[in-house]
Structure 1
Amino acid sequence: MPKLFLFFLFFSTSSLFAQHIGHIAQCDIDMANQSAKNMRPNAVSIKTVRKSPAVLNANTANFLLEAIITGGTPSSIEFEFDGSTTRTKLLDNATNGDKIAGDGTYSITISKPSAGWNHDKVLGYIYLFENGVQQLRFNIFTEIRTAAMPSPTIRKINNNIQFTDYIFNITDDVGSKNFANEAVLAKEFYKYHRDEYDFLNFILVPGYIDNRFHSSLRNSVQGIGQSNLNAGDQYGSAARLKGFNYAPQLSIFDGINNGFNHETGHQWINYAKNSFLKDGVPHMPASNIASGVMGISIGGAGGAGGDFHNNFVEEGNSYRLVAKNKAEDDIFNEWELYLMGLIPASEVKSQAIIFKDQSKYPLGSIYPKTDFNYYTINDFIAQMGNRVPDFTQSQKQFTMATIVVSEKLLSDDEMAYLNHNLKRAESNVAVEIRNGLTMSLAKPFRLATRDKATMRTLLNTNVNCTTVPAKPVITSINNFKVCEGSQTELSVSLKTGEQAIWYYRGVPLDNRTGKINANETSGGYTVSIRGADGCNSLESDEVKLVKLPQPTKPVITSTTNFRFCEGSQTELAVSLKTGEQVMWYYNGTSLNLQTNKINAKETTAAYTAVIRNAEGCESPISNEIKLVKITLTPPQIQSSNGTEVDFGKTTILSTTATTGLSFQWFKDNNPIANATNSSYTVSENGNYTLRITNAEGCTITSAPTQVTIKPQVLGLNEEEINQKLKLSPNPVEDNLKIEIYASKSSFVSLSIVNIAGKSVYKSAYIALTNGWNSIKLDIQTLSAGSYFLLVENSEKMYSKKFLKVK
């Protein structure tokens, strides 16, 4: 486990500060994360600790660790891996990687642990002993290039300068002095860059042991306590450069950590020494408003910075200090945002709750309300005056360039590591990273300002540019209008080999082509052109999109609750306003129907609709609608007496009675009056059907049932008929032979009746003689089916069934 330290190590910085013009704010928390001391060394101290290489990768087998000593000769310097009790001495005798004996640089070669390198935890510790007594312990971290850090394009200007899109690397002999000459280095930077940066970052590799700080060079803001400044020209900036941040060593820098935002915040915070914030200058006094990005000044006004990760929770007549969680920590609070010009005074809702006795914090966790003074933002304005420029006129988009000063040009791993860390400073995504001895949820500048401001860290470096691309002009296919929920195309003309660098709210976008799809309307878009030789144009004029209203998401309605009867359809409808039209879809495919009502009957997929207004904006797609087809089973008809019924008798046709169904019987396709039950008594020849109807009006009709009432036969039974009447052949195709037995001479008529009881043939009277009589009847014209032959005389009638085929 990392060891926690209770003491801070301070170094004199008077010689460092003497060169700077303007206001300087130093932040001591870096020292707390790096080192701890038992007591101030009598003479010997560590000027810097450096690693070669400064950035490792997963395959690095070992690195050289050097501690450069100042002020004398230590009795011993030792290294110990975290979690180990074994210490190894660093040597100054030209062995074990040490380059020069007796030069005050103590060295040791550190081999990769079995678990590999780990950027997120302390690797180990350097201990300094003076006269045999441990005086100092220094934490050693490793910076690791991971697979998430791609190789940037590195361009070399000369043997002393190289650059990527995010890093300008200059060599200088920083190892032999405690600072880099920022003014000289900045002027060198501006030889290749336009005056378009608000801030500069200076990072020293290897650098020296001390805290980060911010130096203000130019200020015209009133109402925040800072005096007017105009010293940017001494650094090569004629009009724009506001100040610079300074990281004296690589291990305390990351473009996404709170230190980056904290030092930048010092451009505005806190210089109000004539207000109730005076006890915290250049940070915040111990108070609830120190719980943001800027923290407190350790030891009171003029002190170096320290974190204050607490919320004030009211409990009756007291306040309890409760630690913030990672998600809400390291975000600029309302007071800080006001001082930065990012919100109006009306949005500063919280009052400042400031310890009356600044030395009380942090002796306890619960404090009576009488321990505090209370102020509003209006109290501050009454003391300091209104902020000018105010929120409506203040700058919200910032640019920052990073200059890395190293003893020799950085390696590919070192450039990739820094390029990655500076690029992600432009994002708006929180990332969990190591911050000293602990892990924190780091918020880039945009997120830390609650999306009130942006920070561009991309460089536009021009080297040996005799010509640069012309200032581009952005065009739009629809006059810079965009439908809500949609996007529009912005474009710029490119020549062969050129690429476009698009910006939104001053931050570069990933798209480097001549066209982008854009939909944001809270800020503006710009673009610059980079030629094939790497030379960059001026940025275009800013364009802002106008958001057009989006039609309301349609709601599809149906008068039948999206149900319909088989063989039918239902109506779907949407409501339209003037100038709107609807586009209907089935299974995602357009139906090419644009009326507000359609007839629909498909059930395997879903119907949807989209509304388009007169300006061409489309609504969100409606909810999917799936129809339900109602299918009825044809009723099955049963007959109580069969379908051939003797003369004078009846039969009952019926089906199963089902709740919710209504019935209607038909005879020869005509409805039978009052025949509305599940059964019906039949006494006539006919073709009978039953139609059922459910509660939703769906109907289906049964198959027909043919009922035949046999003709009346008088005086003869079946046996008697067979003795007097013969038909052959039966079945018959064309000629039916009829044999009739007569007991005496008489006359008969012949009739043929079909199965429905309809007469299809009737003869004149035929004379019979005593005995058997044979008659041949041509029936070719009859349709195939069952028939009855009726023989009738003056006394009786009898019949016989035959079947006509073909």
Structure 2
Amino acid sequence: MWISCEDDKLSNEDQDTLYRYELHSNNRVSSLLMSESEYNNWVNNDGFSDSNIRLPLVQDVYKKFSDTYDFIFFVLNEPSIPSSLYYYGRLIGVSNNVEGIGKSIYDYSSDYGSSGKLKAVMQLTGLEYIKYGPALHEIAHQWANFALPTHSVDAPGSNLTSYPYGSHWGFTGGNTKGQLGGFEQSTLVENGNNSYTVDEFGPFANGGNGIPYNELELYLMGMIPVSSVSNFDMFTDITSLAINTSTFDFTASKTTYTPESLIDLLGDREPSVDNSQKDFKLLVVVITDEPLSDDEWSKVDATAEWFSKKEDDGTSLYNFWEATNGVASITIEN
């Protein structure tokens, strides 16, 4: 089911590595074998989030794999999220060269062993989370949300004080619910006196790979022009929230965004939709403390094959091509 790391597709074969690498025969996924103690430390102490542990590991990956990847996904060899971790997926930015999305230009790729190609590294905390977890959501974090000062609250109630909601949409509308949260704008009802009703939604996320990217996300990613983003409302200063069977009632302050006001706020996106990157290359590495079984190889390889398909997969889930309406693609290969 796998071939050794001496495969001729790998670079720097003569250099010693900290870890043992194995490649699946379909050339889509690989594994990084740690000792039991190293793996326990990585999982129990969230080694991915510790730069002192993460950077040497990625540098080691580059001793075996060429510097041709936009993203590196580390996938834990776990059936589901370990109890020691608080996230299903996490993206850590490495470089950004896009202006007009509210994000500064930076490049830390040399710290990781890349010469400017690597955009981000991600960890998914379950073996099949490329398909059944937040892969689309985490990729979106390369471009969003750095644009809008969104708000959210922790629980329903009255006399609430909302707070800035970081890199997610919170109580923000869109043509559809967003990968990074937010509601469907067309369901919003104005009740008067800053009171609103809207169909249920998640301020943080809306169901993993079960929804596509919305227009605002696609614009920030460079997939559509700003003129294709429908007007939407963002709510801050949220003071009450009631959760009903299928709707939310809330009171808040409203700001309406149009394509013109987005440009006034952010400036023009550069590169524009005409010149933006739309085809990406992804390396998938399973982190494990035991060699993967045939069944484990098959599971993770199937998720990589599905996510990189450039066609409708015929299910209710969205691969990357589907989520971008066929505008963008991801190639997954060793």
What TM-score, normalized to structure 2?
0.75
Inter-partner Cα distance in structure 2 for 1:329 and 1:162:
31
Letter of the 2:214 counterpart:
N
Match of 1:336 in 2: 217
Inter-partner Cα distance in structure 2 for 1:352 and 1:277:
13
Which one of the candidate residues 436, 443, 449 is aligned to 2:318?
A: 443
SS at match of 2:237: coil
Match of 2:16 in 1: none
Deviation at 1:213, TM superposition (A): 0.9
Inter-partner Cα distance in structure 1 for 2:129 and 2:86:
16
Match of 1:352 in 2: 232
Q: Is the 8 A contact 2:72 2:285 kept in 1?
A: yes
Please tell me whether residue 210 in structure 1 is matched to residue 82 in structure 2: no
SS at match of 1:240: coil
Inter-partner Cα distance in structure 1 for 2:297 and 2:242:
41
Could you report, residue by residue, the CA deviation over 1:229-260 in whole angstroms, capped at 9, with x for unpaired residues? 2111221211210001112343xx43234610
Match of 2:29 in 1: 167
| Fraction of identical pairs, as percent | 25
Q: Is the 8 A contact 1:160 1:409 kept in 2?
A: no
Question: Structure 2 vs 1, CA of residues 263 and 362 (structure 1 numbering), >3 Å: closer, same or farther?
Answer: farther
Match of 1:292 in 2: 178
Q: Is the 8 A contact 2:306 2:313 kept in 1?
A: no
Inter-partner Cα distance in structure 1 for 2:251 and 2:41:
53
The 5-angstrom pairing of residues 141-152 of structure 1 reads none
Inter-partner Cα distance in structure 2 for 1:231 and 1:225:
18
Inter-partner Cα distance in structure 2 for 1:230 and 1:359:
40
- Structure with a larger share of its residues in helix: 2
Letter of the 2:275 counterpart:
Q
Q: Is the 8 A contact 1:213 1:247 kept in 2?
A: yes
The 5-angstrom pairing of residues 316-335 of structure 1 reads 320-322=197-199, 330-335=211-216
Task: Work out the number of aligned pairs and report it.
Answer: 281
Match of 2:65 in 1: 193
Letter of the 1:419 counterpart:
D
Match of 2:156 in 1: none
Inter-partner Cα distance in structure 2 for 1:362 and 1:163:
51
Inter-partner Cα distance in structure 1 for 2:131 and 2:30:
18
Question: Structure 2 vs 1, CA of residues 213 and 193 (structure 1 numbering), >3 Å: closer, same or farther?
Answer: same
Deviation at 1:362, TM superposition (A): 5.3
Inter-partner Cα distance in structure 1 for 2:272 and 2:283:
26
Q: Is the 8 A contact 1:202 1:403 kept in 2?
A: yes
Flag the structure with more relative contact order, 1 or 2, with Cα contacts below 8 A and sequence separation at least 6.
Answer: 2
Q: Is the 8 A contact 2:239 2:252 kept in 1?
A: no
Question: Structure 2 vs 1, CA of residues 226 and 184 (structure 1 numbering), >3 Å: closer, same or farther?
Answer: same
Uncovered stretches (5+) of structure 2, i.e. residues with no partner: 7-18, 152-163
Match of 1:802 in 2: none
Please tell me whether residue 401 in structure 1 is matched to residue 283 in structure 2: yes
Question: Structure 2 vs 1, CA of residues 188 and 314 (structure 1 numbering), >3 Å: closer, same or farther?
Answer: closer
Inter-partner Cα distance in structure 1 for 2:240 and 2:264:
28
Could you report, residue by residue, the CA deviation over 1:192-237 in whole angstroms, capped at 9, with x for unpaired residues? 3222110000112346432021100000111111112211122121
Inter-partner Cα distance in structure 2 for 1:359 and 1:245:
35
Q: Is the 8 A contact 2:67 2:115 kept in 1?
A: yes
Deviation at 1:291, TM superposition (A): 1.7
Letter of the 2:55 counterpart:
A
In our comparison, the structure showing a higher alpha carbon Rg is 1
Could you report, residue by residue, the CA deviation over 1:280-321 in whole angstroms, capped at 9, with x for unpaired residues? 32111312138211115xxxxxxxxxxx6x554255757642
Inter-partner Cα distance in structure 2 for 1:375 and 1:456:
34
Could you report, residue by residue, the CA deviation over 1:157-213 in whole angstroms, capped at 9, with x for unpaired residues? 389221121212111221134225332232232223222110000112346432021
Letter of the 2:23 counterpart:
F
Q: Is the 8 A contact 1:203 1:248 kept in 2?
A: yes
Uncovered stretches (5+) of structure 1, i.e. residues with no partner: 1-152, 297-307, 433-440, 460-806
Match of 1:219 in 2: 96
Deviation at 1:266, TM superposition (A): 0.3
Letter of the 1:240 counterpart:
K
Question: Structure 2 vs 1, CA of residues 370 and 199 (structure 1 numbering), >3 Å: closer, same or farther?
Answer: closer
Question: Structure 2 vs 1, CA of residues 312 and 413 (structure 1 numbering), >3 Å: closer, same or farther?
Answer: same
Match of 1:176 in 2: 41
Match of 2:312 in 1: 429
Q: Is the 8 A contact 1:199 1:243 kept in 2?
A: yes
Inter-partner Cα distance in structure 1 for 2:188 and 2:116:
47
Question: Structure 2 vs 1, CA of residues 447 and 155 (structure 1 numbering), >3 Å: closer, same or farther?
Answer: same
Match of 1:48 in 2: none
After TM superposition, the runs of 4+ consecutive aligned structure 1 residues lying more than 6 A away are none
Deviation at 1:451, TM superposition (A): 1.2
Letter of the 1:176 counterpart:
N
SS at match of 1:456: strand
Q: Is the 8 A contact 2:306 2:319 kept in 1?
A: yes
The 5-angstrom pairing of residues 574-723 of structure 1 reads none
Match of 1:759 in 2: none
Question: Structure 2 vs 1, CA of residues 418 and 258 (structure 1 numbering), >3 Å: closer, same or farther?
Answer: closer
Match of 1:412 in 2: 294
Please tell me whether residue 390 in structure 1 is matched to residue 272 in structure 2: yes
Q: Is the 8 A contact 2:223 2:327 kept in 1?
A: yes
Deviation at 1:330, TM superposition (A): 1.3
